[in-house]
Amino acid sequence: MVEVNNIAEALRAQAADRPDGIALIVPTGCDANGHWQDKRWTYRQLNDLSDRLAAGFQRHEIGPGTRVALMVPPSVEFFALFFALLKAGCVPVLIDPGIGLKPLKSCLGEAQPEVFIGVTRAQIARMVLGWARGHIKRFITVGPRPFALGIRYRDLLTENATAFRPPGGDDFDADTPAAILFTSGSTGIPKGVVYRHRHFAAQVRLVRDTYGIVAGEVDLPTFPPFALFDPALGMTTVIPKMDFTRPARANPEMLVSLIEQYAVTNLFGSPALMNTLSRHLEAHSAKLPTVRRVLSAGAPVSPAVVERMHPALAAVADIHTPYGATECLPVATIAGRELVGELSEGNRSGKGICVGHPLPANRVRVIRINDQSLARISDGVEVKPGEVGEICVAGPTVTDKYWQREAQTRLAKMHDEEGTIWHRMGDLGWMDDDGRLWYCGRKSERVTTSRGTLFTECVEGIANAARGVYRSALLGVGEAGQMTPILVIEPEPRQKAAPLIARVAQRLADHEQSSDIERIEVRKSLPVDIRHNAKIRRGELARAYRKRLG
């Protein structure tokens, strides 16, 4: 496996070692027999294409340190442009297009990109809505150019890939900024996380070593950023035909057919997508014999989803649920076959969700809940095992700042006596006697009542175990310390509200921590984040109930 500081160099190394190995498969449609037609690129072809684009960037004086907004959906152009930008020393700015027009404009205003690369509709939106107006000096369109303005994608391509001259000096230093990745803002404002080259390299190493990924595997990533690691991991990427901003709506039949035809060994997706897929697999008693591992991240994964996935997987395969955040990933992980049984029953009895042991490369501390900034990790009081506190992490993938967000950086980052940066996850949890980490919910979403503090994942785990509940959301309405707790239920199909509420109320009453919750509501669907379709937007719900209750 290739060891590099700049993951773009991993693509070059793969092209040298495995020039005819397939790097990318883009299915284009099915024939009458259900067989997928596709377009393919070898490692040599993808590397040459990215070199030609990098040479084009240099020709247009788009060089080291230039911030470049990249708004191109998953495609060969997306992959080639991303690696070309890294090769040229540019800093790609990645923002989830489904984040919403207003937040998207705000993110671009903060990032202040000098170059905007996008498909035609993204360029039209940029012009009409004034994205990063006053900062963008060049724009490049993949597809027809609006009003024939700007640079065409094909204008970047040189005839000869050898025209590219890699930048030298400090442009590829491990501490040089490599990209700005914006958080989804599902529990707060979207923030640009500054990734340095060493962070990407460390993520590749941790994912490879933790899950035993080897060169030659085939990956079906339903979350595009994860696929950008595939060349460094030596995997073939199969791009599914789906709306990546709505993973919960992905066609499970399409996913299964791609897995079967291309002998997929690795599948990555959000918990919402895994819920859809696992229900389909269960309903059809379908098997996925080629799959070695399933990775699901981005939000807590329900034990029910894990349990539904197992019958479809071979005995040596498993579904893994890595825990982390845009600011540091992965932090901890647990295999599904370890999770089911006693640990999943822990979730159903109010202990939270077990996210497993921290990776050996990471250090995790749980400190007393504190909403103020802390300059040093020693300023926080570490709690005892079994006590809920705020999760803090130090390790090779921990990023050190947000772009143009000094106040948020101070709230999220601390140092220890050696100068190591610690990240405050904004998550609450506890460590058990076996050194496993349990996630109890977001700090900003805890419900503080006159009798104590309620944690979302703990209470919701109790409620979700009631028959007929798909998921639930714990909300707090009122002033901190005097909040009224409300539990909002999203039911499974064809459930009647009254008996469902009665079943949930009985479960809540049976557990001390939830026995004081008297208000239970049923809602057809709960609002969720755009990126993963799985994180419940509790703040949005709480504001709605606050208005309703006056």
Percent of the chain with pLDDT over 70: 97
Give the CB-side neighbour count of residue 337, counting CA atoms within 13 A.
10
19 to 46, 347, 526: CA distances (angstroms)? 10, 47, 48
Cα(first)–Cα(last) distance of the chain, in Å?
60
Residue 354 binned pLDDT confidence (cut-offs 50, 70, 90): very high
Which of 201, 179, 178 has the alpha carbon at shortest distance from 192?
A: 179
Residue 475 binned pLDDT confidence (cut-offs 50, 70, 90): very high
3-state DSSP of 424-473: EEEEEEEECCCCCEEEEEEHHHCEEECCEEECHHHHHHHHHCCCCEEEEE
Query: Which residues belong to CATH 2.30.38.10 in the chain?
Result: 332-443
The helix (run of H) or strand (run of E) holding residue 507 is helix 497-509
CA 191 to chain centre: 14
- pLDDT for residue 501 is more than 90: yes
Q: What is the rounded CA–CA span in Å between residue 11 and residue 242? A: 25
pTM comes to 0.93
- pLDDT for residue 293 is more than 70: yes
The DSSP secondary structure of 153-181, one letter per residue, reads HHHH--S-GGG-----GGGG-TTSEEEEE
Tell which CATH classification among 2.40.50.220, 3.40.640.10, 3.40.50.12280, 2.30.38.10 matches the domain 332-443. Answer: 2.30.38.10
Query: Which residues belong to CATH 3.30.300.30 in the chain?
Result: 446-549
475 to 45, 351, 390, 431, 483: CA distances (angstroms)? 52, 18, 19, 25, 9
CATH number of 446-549: 3.30.300.30
- pLDDT for residue 138 is more than 80: yes
Query: Which residues belong to CATH 3.40.50.980 in the chain?
Result: 45-195
Average pLDDT of the segment spanning 300-324: 94
φ/ψ (deg, to 5) at 145: -85, 130
Q: Tokens standing for 471?
A: 């998921």
Whether 428 contacts 389, CB under 8 Å: yes
Average pLDDT of the segment spanning 89-118: 91
The predicted-structure confidence for 358-408, as pLDDT tens digits, reads as follows 999 999 999 999 999 999 999 999 999 999 999 999 999 999 999 999 999
422 to 199, 263, 425: CA distances (angstroms)? 14, 40, 9
Give the CB-side neighbour count of residue 245, counting CA atoms within 13 A.
11
Question: What residues contact residue 12 under an 8 Å CB cut-off, 6+ apart?
Answer: 47
Average pLDDT of the segment spanning 35-39: 96
CATH number of 45-195: 3.40.50.980
